Amino acid sequence: MAAVFRLEPGDRYNQTLAANIHPSDWINPLPTRRYNMVVIGGGTAGLVTAAGAAGLGASVALVEKTLMGGDCLNFGCVPSKALVRAARAAAEMRDADVYGIETVDVKVDFGKVMERMRRLRAQLSAKDSASRFQYELGVDVFIGEARFIGADAVEVGGQTLRFRKACIATGARAAAPPINGPRPSRISDQRNRLLVDGTSAPRRRAWCRSSRMRTVADASALWRRGDTNRTRATYPAARRRRSRAVGGARNRARRGAAADQGNG
Ligand SMILES: Cc1cc2nc3c(=O)[nH]c(=O)nc-3n(C[C@H](O)[C@H](O)[C@H](O)COP(=O)(O)OP(=O)(O)OC[C@H]3O[C@@H](n4cnc5c(N)ncnc54)[C@H](O)[C@@H]3O)c2cc1C
């Protein structure tokens, strides 16, 4: 059985979440003789890889040591968008006079904002659940920590999973940037995650985040809105040139491959 994973606060939403993505009564299946693929890590990357491979008819095992859905469902994309939406609602109410609407005194109940976040996260977790992957998508789901014990085998919870291919989708950890000057007195050991177990607003918190993915995503959103000036600022010229060069080379390679196939 999977180890009990405590999600704080232990309300009905977090209980639903845990039942979906780390069921404490989960019994790992008996491994088949040799999997076509073993996927280590049940975050976005691992779930998509496992579902895609199983959909193509491969025998697949997925191993997740803590929470299926990974950072995106539990600490990243989903919680942050719930908070962003609440912040936007508060800002729009506060600035309603811009639209000719009389403003009201906006009071944010942070506990309720977080409760809504937990409700949405619990609802969405059904899609990433162990039982959906096991019984609907045909993936053998193992809850536990995977460890390579050979070139074609991993061990999880005392069981050996043999594979033809393995996919390591164990995510990444943020590093503290080498910033000169005063250091924050405490840096969270979950530096790449929103700390989403709170029910009352933190008194002070500073966030510092920069990543290529974010830059590209922001730039493409601005680009779609036709905001080319801000696109240029967000997505600097050198990177745009590199992106065009890579894209151009990729397209030329694709055209070449298509032509070869046509000739063959
Ligand atoms: C605040 C925040 C907001 C974000 N917003 C967005 C957004 O809006 N859009 C977007 O596209 N991205 C967003 N991201 C990024 C997104 O969350 C990550 O890109 C994504 O979660 C990466 O997925 P992953 O599968 O590579 O890794 P992870 O989600 O980290 O999953 C890796 C999994 O592997 C498991 N694991 C590790 N080692 C082992 C082992 N030995 N055995 C078994 N399991 C193991 C871990 O427990 C974990 O569940 C955001 C991130 C943050 C922090």
| DSSP one-letter string for 181-200 | SPPPS---S-TTS-----SS
Residue closest via CA to ligand 1's atom 13 equals: 77
What residue ranges define each of the domains in the chain, with the CATH number in brackets?
A: 12-68+129-168 (3.50.50.60), 74-121+189-243 (no CATH)
pLDDT band at 228 (very low <50, low <70, confident <90, very high): very low
pLDDT band at 213 (very low <50, low <70, confident <90, very high): very low
Q: What is the DSSP string of the chain?
A: -PPP---SS-SHHHHHHHHHHS-TT--PPPP-SSEEEEEE--SHHHHHHHHHHHHTT--EEEEESS-TTHHHHHTSHHHHHHHHHHHHHHHHHHTGGGGT---------HHHHHHHHHHHHHHHGGGG-HHIIIIIS-PEEEES--EEEETTEEEETTEEEEEEEEEE------------SPPPS---S-TTS-----SS--S--------HHHHHHHHHHHHHTT-HHHHHHHS-HHHHHHHHHHHHHHHHHHHHHHHHHHH-
Between 69-73, 101-105, 259-263, the lowest mean confidence (pLDDT) is in 259-263
pLDDT band at 183 (very low <50, low <70, confident <90, very high): low
Between 32-36, 55-59, 210-214, 249-253, the lowest mean confidence (pLDDT) is in 210-214
How many Cβ atoms are within 10 Å of 67's Cβ, its own excluded?
22
Residue closest via CA to ligand 1's atom 19 equals: 72
Atom of ligand 1 nearest to the CA of 68: 49
pLDDT of residue 67: 96
Q: Is the pLDDT of residue 214 over 50?
A: no
Between 22-36, 121-135, 187-201, the lowest mean confidence (pLDDT) is in 187-201
pLDDT of residue 172: 87
**Sheet containing strand 60-64, strands side by side:** 140-143, 60-64, 35-40, 159-168, 153-156, 147-150
Atom of ligand 1 nearest to the CA of 192: 53
Residue 78 CA to ligand 1 centre (angstroms): 11
pLDDT band at 229 (very low <50, low <70, confident <90, very high): very low
pTM as predicted: 0.78
80 vs 2, more confident: 80
Residue closest via CA to ligand 1's atom 6 equals: 77
Between 28-37, 147-156, 190-199, the lowest mean confidence (pLDDT) is in 190-199
Cβ-based neighbours of 33, under 8 Å, separated by 6 or more: 162
Residue 175 CA to ligand 1 centre (angstroms): 15
Residue 71 CA to ligand 1 centre (angstroms): 4
pLDDT of residue 32: 82
Q: Tell me the pLDDT tens digit for each residue of 36-92.
A: 999 999 999 999 999 999 999 999 999 999 999 999 999 999 999 999 999 999 999
Query: What's the CA gap between 157 and 239, in Å, rounded?
Result: 45
Residue 160 CA to ligand 1 centre (angstroms): 25
- Provide residues with CB under 6 Å of ligand 1: 40-46, 63-67, 70-72, 76-77, 80, 145-146, 169-171, 192-194
Looking at the DSSP bridge assignments, the partners of residue 140 are: 61
Q: Coil, helix or strand for 68?
A: coil
Mutate to test the pocket of ligand 1, among 77, 121, 124 (most ligand atoms within 8 A of CB): 77
Residue closest via CA to ligand 1's atom 49 equals: 70
Residue 232 CA to ligand 1 centre (angstroms): 28
Residue closest via CA to ligand 1's atom 26 equals: 171
Q: Tell me the pLDDT tens digit for each residue of 107-136.
A: 999 999 999 999 999 999 999 999 999 999
Instruction: Please provide the average confidence, as pLDDT, over all residues in the chain.
Output: 81
Cβ-based neighbours of 244, under 8 Å, separated by 6 or more: none
Phi, psi of 70 (to 5 degrees): 55, -155
Please, are residues 159 and 32 in contact by the beta-carbon 8 Å criterion?
no
Segment 20-37 mean pLDDT:
95
Q: Is the pLDDT of residue 260 over 80?
A: no
262 vs 201, more confident: 201
pLDDT of residue 22: 96
Atom of ligand 1 nearest to the CA of 45: 25
Mutate to test the pocket of ligand 1, among 155, 170, 215 (most ligand atoms within 8 A of CB): 170
pLDDT of residue 180: 73
Residue closest via CA to ligand 1's atom 9 equals: 77
234 vs 141, more confident: 141
